[in-house]
Amino acid sequence: MTTDNSAPETPRSPAAANTLAARRRPAEATGRSRASRLPSLTGMRFLAALLVFFYHSSLPRPAVQLMGDHAAWKVYYLASSQAGALGVTFFFVLSGFVLTWSARGTDTARAFWRRRYVKIVPNYVLTWALSMVLFAAAVTPTWMAVTNLFMLQSWIPDIHLSFSVDTPSWSLGVEALFYALFPLLLFGVRRIRAERLKYWFAGTFAGIVATAALSYALLPASPALSLPYLKGSISTYQYWFAYVFPVPRVLDFALGILLARLVMAGRWRDIGVGRSVLLLAVGYAVALEVPYLYGQIVVCVLPAAVVIAAGAMADASGSSTVFNHRPMIWLGEISFAFYLVHWIVLATSRKALGTALFSTPVSIALTLGQIAVAVLLSWAVYVWFERPIVRRWSTG
C-alpha cells in the first residue's frame, strides 16, 4: 500500500479518538499499522454470520424449511426477513474498515492480493466442492456450477444463478471486486484532507440511497420477485442490481474505508458500544417496515458503521466489551468458515430428515442443533484447513 500523504490529521473528538490519533504517528513512522488486532470486531463477525444463518433457516424453501406450524413460521420469517441483508451489509462495511485500519504503509498491491487470495479462495473452493457432492450436483447445470466456481455468479442478472450451489457464496464474488479495487481506493481515500472526510462519507451514503431509488425507478418492474409477505412489489432485476451486483456494493466497502479514516483521524463521535447496538436494533426494526430494497441496503448501513466504529474505539482504548472476550473472539475466528458451511449444514440436514415438517419446539431444537454442527464443522475447517494454508502461503 502507499503511504499516507494527506494533510496532518488534528483530532478534535473525545478521549478515545485522541488516543487513536496519538498512537497512529509512531506506527506510521515505522511503516506499520498501529493496531492490527480489533477483538471486538472479530467477535461481531460471528454475530453477523449468525444473522445470515437465521435468515436462511427461515426461508420457505423445501431445501431448508423445518417448521410445519404456519403461524409460527410466519413470525420467524418476518422477524428474520432482513437479517441476512444486515449481516451482509455489516460484512461489507467491516471489510473496508478493517483492511484500512490494518493496512501496512510499506505493503504492495501484489502482497495484499496474495494474502486475500490465500484467505478466501481455498475455503471457497472447499465448500463449493462439498456442496456439489452433497446436494447441488443433482440440481445444478454444469454452466452454473462452473460460474460459481470462478466467483462470477453475482455478475449475471439471474438470481437463480446468484444463489445456486452454496447459496451465501455469492457475496464472495462481490468481495473479490472489493479486494481488486482496495489498493486504488485506499490510495485515493488517503489523499482526502481530514476535514473533508465527512463529506465523502455522506456522499457515499447518498450513493447507497440512490442505488435503491434508481433500481425502483429505472429497472424493469417484472418479473416479480417471489417472496412471501413482501412489502410492496420488486422485480428480480431491481433486487439483483441493488443487492447482488458487485459494482453498487462497492459503496458499502468504500463507506468502511472512509469510516476507518474518520476514526483514525479522531473525527468520529463515538456513542459507545451499548448505544450503538441499540441504534442498530432500532434500525433493524425500521428496515422491516420500509420498502424492501431500502430495508436491504440503506436503513441499517449507518447503524452498522456506528457499531463498527464503537467497537474499534473501545478496543483501541483497552475497554472491555461483550464482543472482545475469548469465546466471542474464538467464534469470530471461525466465522468465515461458518458463513460458508452453514448452508451446507442446513441443506444436508434437511435432506437427511426427509420431507416431514415439525412442531415449533422440535424445529427450534433442530435449528439449535444445526448451529452447533455448523460451529463444529467451521472449527474443523479453520483449524485443519484455513489456518494452515494461510500460515504457509500468505507470504512469499
Give pLDDT, residue 106: 84
Looking at every residue in the chain, the average pLDDT score rounds to: 91
Each residue of 55-83: pLDDT tens digit?
999 998 999 999 999 999 999 999 999 99
Does residue 167 carry a pLDDT above 80?
A: yes
Give pLDDT, residue 181: 98
Q: Please state the rounded mean pLDDT for residues 18-45.
A: 58
Does residue 230 carry a pLDDT above 80?
A: no
Write out the DSSP string of 343-364. HHHHHHHHHHHTT--B-HHHHH
pTM attached to this predicted model: 0.91
Residue with cell 441476512: 84
Integer CA distances (angstroms), 7 to 36, 189, 289, in order: 23, 12, 43
Q: Please state the rounded mean pLDDT for residues 166-172.
A: 97
Does residue 187 carry a pLDDT above 70?
A: yes
First to last CA, the chain: 16
User: Which one, of 378, 116, 157, lies nearest residue 247 by Cα?
Assistant: 157
Each residue of 114-147: pLDDT tens digit?
999 999 999 999 999 999 999 999 999 999 999 9
Give pLDDT, residue 36: 55
